[in-house]
Amino acid sequence: MRALLMKDFLMLSKQIKMMVAIFAVLIIISFITNMTMVLVIFSLIFASLQLTTAFTFDEMSKWDKYANTLPVDRKTIVQSKYVLGLILIASGIVIFTPVVFLSDEMTRQLPFIDIFQTIVIVLSIALFYISLTIPLFIKFGTQKARFIIFAIVFLPVFGSGFIQYGLRTVGLNQLMSYIKYVPIAAFVFLLLSYFVSVKWYERKEF
């Protein structure tokens, strides 16, 4: 497992370095414009982007064919991709949360609880995203999966209609009280996704 993660990070090292440079600039801009919250969202987009890149690089070199001749379980190969996704997401959160709080301390725009809630929601969305993409990448490859993901990610746009409906009938406060269930749902979805991925990967032929 450590070996596979190390391979992914060595493989992505150039991309990650480039992103760090971009983030340095973004942090400065976000401080000036008082929009540090955007950073958290940005870091999560970055995380999902890197995960997709990792899958694309593997696919281009047919790495999985070789990886399956090594003394490594198929399950471990799948696990390593989930751990990679989680590490990327976690590092985004760990790096940018202090920045957000620091900037908020200075400007006192939002109460702590609101920031915390937003970060949890964004984090949950990131978990939903990797839970959706990893099994699709495994089953369909990055080319086909990309279209499927594109379609699924756009479903919430129609979903926003339901939210408006919910706002009208249930009321904002009631709806906000459901928000605490979002991270739990994300976690359940992640577990489910992992089992599906393992199943699909174990059946896969190379």
Nearer to other proteins by Cβ, of 70 and 102: the residue is 70
Q: What is d(CA 165, CA 174) in angstroms, rounded to the nearest whole number?
A: 13
Give the angle 27-91-107 at the CA atoms, nearest 5°: 35
Give the angle subtended at the CA of 136 by the CAs of 1 and 47, to the nearest 5°.
60
Per CB under 8 A, the list member of 73, 163, 174, 177 interacting with other proteins is 73
CA dihedral 95, 5, 44, 96 (to 10 degrees): 0
Nearer of residues 154 and 206 to other proteins, judged by Cβ: 206
Is residue 78 part of the contact set for other proteins (CB under 8 A)?
no
Site for other proteins in 47-66 (CB under 8 A): 57-58, 60-63, 65-66
Rule CB under 8 A: say whether 206 interacts with other proteins: yes
Query: For residue 188, what are its two tokens?
Result: 């359940």
Establish if 20 lies at the interface with other proteins (CB under 8 A): no
Length of the chain in residues, anyone? Answer: 206
Binding interface with other proteins (CB under 8 A): 2-4, 6-7, 10-11, 13-14, 57-58, 60-63, 65-66, 68-73, 203, 205-206
